Amino acid sequence: MTTALFTHFACLDHVTPDGHPESPARLRAVLDALADPAFAGLARGECPRAEAEALAFVHPRHFIRHVLDNVPARGLKAIDGDTTLSPGSGEAALRAAGGAVAAVDAVLTGEARTAFAAVRPPGHHAEPQSAMGFCVFNNIAVAAHRARAHGLRRVAVVDFDVHHGNGTQAAFERDADLFFASTHQWPLYPGTGLPQERGVAGNIVNVPLPPRTGSDEFREAFEIAILPALDSFGPELILISAGFDAHVDDPLADLRLTERDFAWATGRICDIAAIHAKGRVVSTLEGGYDLDALGRSAAAHVKALMAA
């Protein structure tokens, strides 16, 4: 069965200040990499706008209105110390969350076995009532609740971005039927993600990694902590917060992974999905700020999804 790719050119219209690491060039790098003939078999679709009802499973309606009401007619407007809105940001944010929703729909209706949403702004730092860390709406959490609208009960997110997905954890930590597991550098922004943060019934699994952690240590952490917990949870769908800023070339952190590690982690997640979730995996783009490394890593990740 095929792998679906969802993106939208509106996601390029979310403009950030000069020199900001989360720039439109990130998405261009990913899409350029996925234009290679090796990806000709992808089923390509456009991200729809996320409906307010889908966003409201995660974000209160007053917060959704706050974001959209603060989109400037011109120039830039800060809504967090790291997060700004431009005139195209409202459309981009709705399309980013909508792409994650559409990816879930495609997988759960049988149109695809796996799917990747190549979107921005990213989402995993966005908490239910606050944008932060370059993120506006929490795309992956919105996608998880979309899966529940399809009748699924147990949904898991695995996050291998170098920064802890505090927003996803905040959205999941009180619901034992939602599972969140994260590997991330520690100490590092946003300062959350300690092992003792376990949610209810152990549905949160955090594996902080020290600076300069390399492939062997990362894979060991996955095999010892992440994969057994994911297997024990028994998800009906697995979502991936696919951040590639743990790459050795990334400027914002200090882990030592390569694109081969992201492909390996993706493959191992797909192995668990084959056991519990009919092979169904949906991924959405999070971080990654060295453009060459980001393109190579996203390509390796999508190849692993296609091979599952």
CA–CA–CA angle 139, 143, 148 (5° rounding): 150
Residues facing residue 239 across a β-bridge: 157, 282
Cα 51 to Cα 76: distance, rounded to the nearest angstrom: 25
Q: How far is CA 81 from the centre of its chain?
A: 21
Structure token digits, residue 245: 């800023």
Q: Which of 125, 145, 247, 301 is catalytic?
A: 125
186-193: which pairs have CB atoms within 8 A and are 24 or more residues apart?
Answer: 186/210, 188/162, 188/163, 188/164, 188/253, 189/133, 189/163, 190/125, 190/132, 190/133, 190/163, 190/164, 190/166, 192/164, 192/166, 193/164, 193/165, 193/166, 193/169
Q: What angle do CA 143, 245, 87 make, to 5 degrees?
A: 60
Structure tokens at 65: 């209105």
Nearest-angstrom CA–CA distance, 276 and 234? 6
CA distances from 24 to 12, 31, 68 (A): 5, 11, 20
Catalytic site includes residue 125? yes
**Dihedral, 110, 183, 284, 95 alpha carbons, nearest 10:** 130
CA distance 74 to 79: 15
10, containing H or E segment: none
- Report yes or no: 123 and 140 within 8 Å, Cβ to Cβ: yes
Q: Using CA atoms, how far apart are residues 41 and 142, in angstroms rounded to an integer? A: 27
Which residues are designated catalytic?
125
